Structure 1
Amino acid sequence: MARLVKCAKLGRELPGLEKPPFPGPLGERIYNEISADAWELWKQQQTIIINHYGLNPADPDDRQVLRDLMEEFFFGEGAQMPEGWTPVGAGGAPAKGGGAPRRKK
């Protein structure tokens, strides 16, 4: 049975992560207070941030920027999703957009 957490981001009790996503206090806090669903949202957001700002995850300064933005995403002022929000494609609802178009052969 999955471990449940009261998700600080999504505002409800949901399955948590299997283990802390990385070492240290922030990793432990995310493990204890963030759901697996919210972690997936962060991974999508992180990709957008890396591409938009041209960050290099191997650079310690860029990693610190990502950690700061991650902490704000999960725990900052107004970090909770709007009431009644559900991820696209969750609960049987069709995903909007349907992904990238297929290439013609």
Structure 2
Amino acid sequence: MPSITCARCGHDREQLARPPLPGDLGTRIFASICDVCWKEWLRQQTAVINHYGLNLLDPKAKQFLTKQTEAFLFGETPV
């Protein structure tokens, strides 16, 4: 697999096999986040879902989780 310079960790690492999410965010993650950091996010995502008791059928919960994803991977402040 090709390697990329990860926007989160700054290392040259293996790129994801495919965009992990649909839409623009998935494309952005695929283009700039390494496999290692994505796996770290998946572990953190589980902790966030459990901590906040998120119901991912709720659009507000999905929006909250998307903001947390952007904050974790790209250092963007969640609103």
TM-score when scaled to structure 2?
0.90
* 1:31 partner letter: F
**More relative contact order, 1 or 2 (CA 8 Å, 6+ apart):** 2
RMSD: 1.0
TM-score when scaled to structure 1?
0.69
* 1:4 to partner: Cα distance: 0.8
Amino-acid identity (%):
45
Q: Give ranges in structure 2 of 5+ residues lacking alignment.
A: none
Q: How many residues align?
A: 76
Q: Give ranges in structure 1 of 5+ residues lacking alignment.
A: 78-105
Q: Which structure dedicates a bigger proportion of its chain to helix?
A: 2
1:33-74 deviations in Å (ceiling 9; x for gaps): 000110000000000000000001222110110000100111
Q: Does 1:5 align with 2:4?
A: yes
- Kindly name which structure, 1 or 2, has the bigger radius of gyration based on alpha carbons: 1
